[in-house]
Each structure stands twice: as structure tokens, then as C-alpha cells.
Structure 1
């Protein structure tokens, strides 16, 4: 097995240098210094932390789609739009799959694209003309936000905070719910997901509770990882949800009889809450950051949630005024 690239990080500079020296003695490697580029990810060091983007990669996608000169748009999907499987077949499905695959990799630093890319990914087998138009709109949005990426800054608060949300019966064809969640560590976004639930939920409470179970599973993974690294925050991890019924289920054992059809998820979440490892709290819908992972939003709401996800313009671009998100 050959390894082309590796990132070495830590808080002990002496140990890092010893590791690099020992590795160089054993293998033929080249030390490129401070992290700046890794597998298509561009890393910039700022006064407060790191900025990670994929501007060059995004530009390559636009060139492949012949949309370099296209007019940019303010959101990746029209407000309230839902894609369906019917319509005229797209004549070049290979191009469609290639562009969607490239966009999937772009979501590594662009969580604001997660919902729409997940939506168009559901039609890889038989894309239609409407699906390709949706992909083109995503790329036009990317053009207007080419130098956007994830900003990681140092915070005194190292707590773990999660958001989970579901849009009940979002899919008009299968009536399965769209769901998403995000996890923040010390105010920085470290994990997120946007998908369609694998089963039909019988109520909005059920769909919300199922995504809570998914989010809690990832929270536990993050907690265990930080514990192994010796960096687990002293405060209890919190999961925020905007569905009061789902919050009630997670905190009240007397509600068990009402949720027999989601028995497994109930026991999983309830056990973690009762043990004190996880805390669930209510958050108003307008502050539900995971809402951006479940449906298309109007521009003001979309841009507000995008900024809360730490997705922003490159700091140097903000100073020079270049490539602003001034799309229509």
C-alpha cells in the first residue's frame, strides 16, 4: 500500500519533530511544512484559526460544465422546490453523474450544499432534464460563492453542541422525510449530514425522534473520540431540536407507551439522556441550524443559517472586497 499524503498534527512540537524525523529515517518522505493544500482542500492560516475551502476544485467543476461565464444565483435551489422522478430523460446521464459526484466531494467544505446535492444524488440512475437544470442552478450558486469555505476559530468554550431537524414527508413521491443534523465543537462545525429517511414516518414527532437518534449516535462517536484524545469537554453534550413532542419523549419515561413503533430509537436516546451523557433541549425553529439540511429556504433564512454554520467568504477576499456573494 502506498500513501501519497499525510497530515501530522498535535500540541507537542518536540514530539511532532521527533515523529517526522523517525518517519523520514524509515521512509522516503518530503516535509512540505505548514498545511496549505491536501487532497483538493485549500487551507489558509488566519489570525484566529484556519480557513478551509475548495475554490480551485469548484472552478474545475464549473469549467467541466461550461458554466464559467454563467450568471450566478443567490440560493442553490428555488424556495419550496422538490424534485420528482418524472419528466424528459436527460440525454447525457454520464455528465450528470460526473457533476453530481464532483459536487458531493465539494460538500466537504460546503455544508450549505448538502441538502441540494443529496436531492440531485437520488436521481443518478435516470436523471431528467429538470434534474440537470437543478444541477446547473447549484453550479451557478457555486460560481457566486466560489471563495466560500469553512472557518475554524479558537474558542474558550469547548462544549459539544448538536442540532437535529426533519421535514416530515418532504418527498412528494415516497412521503419519506428529509432530515439533517450538525455537530459543533467549541463553536466550530465538525460534522453534518443531510439525507432522506429510509422509512415513512407516521408523524412529525416520529421523524424528528428518528433523526435525534441518528444525531445522538454521532454525538457519542465524537465524545468517545475526544475522550481517547484526552480532550473531552467537562460540560455535558447538548442536542437541540425544535419539536417539543420529540424532546418530551427523550426526557420522560412515561411516554414510552406512546412510542412503541419507534421503540429501538426511544430506548437508545432515552438511555443516554437518563445516564447524563446527553442533554436534549428545545430550540426555536428560526434558530434551528439543521433546517438548512432539510429543505430549500428563502434567501434571508438561507444566508443566516449558512453564516451560523461558519461558511463564509475567505478572510482576504472580505478585506479586498473580491468575489462577494452579491448574486440575484
Structure 2
């Protein structure tokens, strides 16, 4: 089954008056980070409309999810540079209108997750971003009556985080994440999750 929102993407492009815009090969500019400074957006209604439309489009376009999420970081006080980021996403969407989700029948009932330890990725809050949804997905799959036959495999490039999943001893340096570590250790002990190291270059 192929899921596509091509018609909706075209309507979104037209709403932004970008029917004949230049195309771009990527949805996000990897050279610059979005920050909370700059001029306020002149047309807030259009910005919010396009942002909401792009969020809806991510249901069948996971390739734009990260870029859309980054553009949503300052919805409470958007700046012109965020509007530029939205336009870049729309230029990318215009060049990839035929993309969508191809779903195949699968008999493998396993869940695999990857986590990249981006230290201080957000330039404003200095928070790290990583994958933390495996427990939720595990429970969702169980609620759909599709039991997992094996533990969820989590691959991470953070050796220290993997070590903490199996080491019940806490140190002063990990006190601030003690509750989270206990939750992860419990899921590993129950056999729901197994953590493995994968180098960053993969």
C-alpha cells in the first residue's frame, strides 16, 4: 500500500504562493541553526497555517519531520528566519511531490530504534535530542494485539548511556537522571529492551 498526500502538498504549496519557486534538495539547511532572534513575522496567520499544514503532511512524509519540528520550536514568537525555513521545506516538498510511504506486509514482529547522542544540539536551551519512544511504541504494538516476539533493539552511539542501562549502581554524576535510569534499567531487566553500541558514522 502506498500512502501519499500529493494533492494536499500541492494545495499547501499554492497557499504559500510558491507554485513556481526554485527547488531544493534538502528540507533543512545544515549549515545554520535556527535561533530566537531576528525580525518578527509580518504575516503570522499565513505562517501558522503553513506550519500546521506541514505538520499534517508529515503523516506521509517522515523525511520532513525533523525540519518541520525545528521550525515549530518558537511558535509562540516566530521570526522571519523561521518563515524562511518553512519556505525551504516547501521548496523541497515541491520537488518531491511523488514521495510518500510505501507499506509492505511483514511477518517480522520486532522493533528496532536508533538513538544519536546530539550533545547540546539546541542552540538556545542546550538540550540534547535522542530517541525516547520505544516504550510507548512497545505498548502501542501490544494494544494493537501484535505481540513482539523479541526485545526491542536500541542502537546508540553513546557508550555511557548503554552502560547505565545494565549498571544498577548510581553515581553523583547521574543523580539528576536517576528516575529515568531506573525506568530504562527496569525495561532492560524485563527483557523488553536490549541496548547495543553503533558508531556515530552509521
Aligned partners of 1:216 and 1:269 also within 8 Å: no
Tell me the distance in 1 between the aligned counterparts of 2:54 and 2:28: 14
Aligned to 1:260, what secondary structure does the other structure show? Answer: helix
Aligned partners of 2:9 and 2:97 also within 8 Å: yes
Aligned to 2:189, what secondary structure does the other structure show? Answer: helix
Aligned partners of 1:61 and 1:99 also within 8 Å: yes
Q: Which residue of 2 aligns with 1:173?
A: 124
Tell me the distance in 1 between the aligned counterparts of 2:198 and 2:137: 18
Q: Which residue of 2 aligns with 1:122?
A: 73
Q: Which residue of 2 aligns with 1:79?
A: 30
- RMSD across aligned C-alpha pairs, in angstroms? 1.7
Aligned partners of 1:93 and 1:126 also within 8 Å: no
Q: Which residue of 2 aligns with 1:140?
A: 91
Runs of 4+ that moved beyond 6 A = none
Tell me the distance in 1 between the aligned counterparts of 2:201 and 2:9: 30
**Aligned-pair distance for 1:223?**
4.3
Tell me the distance in 1 between the aligned counterparts of 2:124 and 2:9: 32
Q: Could you list the runs of 5+ residues in structure 2 that have no partner in the other structure?
A: none
- Bigger fraction of residues in strand: 1
Aligned to 1:174, what secondary structure does the other structure show? Answer: coil
Larger Rg: 1
Q: May I ask how many residue pairs the two structures share in their alignment?
A: 201
Tell me the distance in 2 between the aligned counterparts of 1:236 and 1:62: 42
Aligned partners of 2:40 and 2:80 also within 8 Å: yes
Q: Tell me the TM-score normalised to structure 1 length.
A: 0.58
* Higher mean C-alpha displacement, 110-119 vs 57-66: 110-119
Aligned partners of 1:107 and 1:114 also within 8 Å: yes
Q: Could you list the runs of 5+ residues in structure 1 that have no partner in the other structure?
A: 1-49, 182-213, 288-328
Picking from 75, 97, 105, the partner of 2:48 is: 97
Aligned partners of 1:89 and 1:129 also within 8 Å: yes
Task: Confirm whether residue 220 of structure 1 aligns to residue 138 of structure 2.
Answer: yes
Aligned partners of 1:241 and 1:282 also within 8 Å: yes
